[in-house]
Amino acid sequence: MKKEENIKLGISIGDLNGIGAEIVLRIFEDNRMLDFCTPIIFASIKTMSFVKNHFNLDINLNGIQNVSQALHGRVNVLNCWKENVAINFGQEDLKIGEYAIKSLEQATKSLKEEEIDLLVTAPINKHNIQSETFKFPGHTDYLNQELEGNSLMFMVSDGLRVGLLTDHVPVKDIAMHITPKLIEEKINTVYNSLKQDFQIDKPKIAVLGINPHTGDNGVIGTEDDTVLRPTLQKIKDSGKLVFGPYAADSFFGSNNYKNFDAIIASYHDQGLIPFKTLSFGQGVNYTAGLNRVRTSPDHGTAYEIAGKGVADVGSFKEAIFTGIQIYKNRNEYQELTKNPLGFSKRKI
């Protein structure tokens, strides 16, 4: 396993009119951060120099043409484009969306080819990234296509981890997406992630119901009784500590979530509203289930404060530390389970 200082951290720059670039540079303006990793920002030295000067930051940037040129102890910027970029903080711009995708695609390529060890993505604008060649609702769906495995949006912070059965799905379509196959896949992904990425030997997982009051015995919908309960029982019979479905309205307010290593919500807002209420500014979006590590902050582009120098770096910094820790935990788990007793394959 690599020493911390040799861990190459890739950063896709996201929407340049938002707060992402400011936060990235402000974090690494603190030289102590360079003890934990070697950062490689996928953008351009011209662009990042503009951001540096706009915020009057005391930071030295090292422009490189490929990852192999990255220097430890420096903030490296891999040039993904050469031209000047017109940055107008706080404005939605289709051209800026194109640069966000250039950065993401190049960073993902380096992640796939193991040129970088993990990826932290700055926020994008889901509208201005859409094009004929990029038709994904967000990072998670794109990475799921490019990397191996089945992705799951896993929101994590100290003492709280929330996964989703469905993520960017319209509310009217949620129930039709939740099938026994999907439930088993997502629970297995969370279970395996808790073991290998978070070093929890016997994970306890709670699952929230689909309908209010988990359907009230069919009065408010039948999906909890006909789809969710029998599938959870099947999984529980296999030996996994999976419990539910729980009524979502009282689950977090009663502090019941503290009894579990992870909670799986049926849909986006059911899980993310309580998560962000309890941990906003310190939460991390982790894409579990893939063969590479990717994290991101729990906030968006924040156009309303972009360019003003007041953005909070907390969540992005947590995304960096969480990504590094998951990378190390996963390497350790794979090493320990590769051949746990050290037996030779030779016949005796």
**Per-residue pLDDT at 136:** 81
**Per-residue pLDDT at 2:** 55
Distance CA 200, CA 197 (A): 8
Residue 116 main-chain phi, psi, to 5 deg: -120, 160
- Cα 205-207-208 angle, rounded to 5 deg: 145
Distance CA 208, CA 221 (A): 14
Distance CA 294, CA 288 (A): 8
Mean pLDDT of 283-305: 95
Q: How many CA atoms lie within 13 A of 143 on its CB side?
A: 29
pLDDT over 50 at 155, yes or no: yes
Distance CA 259, CA 147 (A): 33
Per-residue pLDDT tens for 298-328?
899 999 999 999 999 999 999 999 999 999 9
Q: How many CB atoms lie within 10 A of CB 105?
A: 17
pLDDT band (50, 70, 90) for residue 346 = very low
Distance CA 288, CA 85 (A): 33
Return the bridge partners of 286, or none: 154, 295
Cβ contact 129:97 at 8 Å: yes
Cβ contact 63:98 at 8 Å: no
Pairing label, strands 38-43, 61-64: unpaired
pTM reported for the whole predicted model: 0.91
Per-residue pLDDT tens for 232-275?
999 999 999 999 999 999 999 999 999 999 999 999 999 999 99
Q: How many CA atoms lie within 13 A of 125 on its CB side?
A: 23
Cβ contact 335:1 at 8 Å: yes
CA distances from 319 to 91, 153, 160, 344 (A): 25, 14, 15, 40
Per-residue pLDDT tens for 81-115?
999 999 999 999 999 999 999 999 999 999 999 99
Q: Quickly tell me which residue has 């996963």 as its tokens.
A: 330
Distance CA 277, CA 258 (A): 15
CA distances from 316 to 54, 253, 300, 348 (A): 20, 27, 11, 53
Instruction: Please give the sequence-ordered ranges of beta strands (E in DSSP) within the chain, or none if there are none.
Output: 8-12, 38-43, 61-64, 75-79, 118-121, 149-157, 160-164, 204-208, 241-246, 262-265, 284-290, 293-297
**Per-residue pLDDT at 224:** 92
pLDDT over 50 at 348, yes or no: no
Question: How high does pLDDT run on average in the chain?
Answer: 92
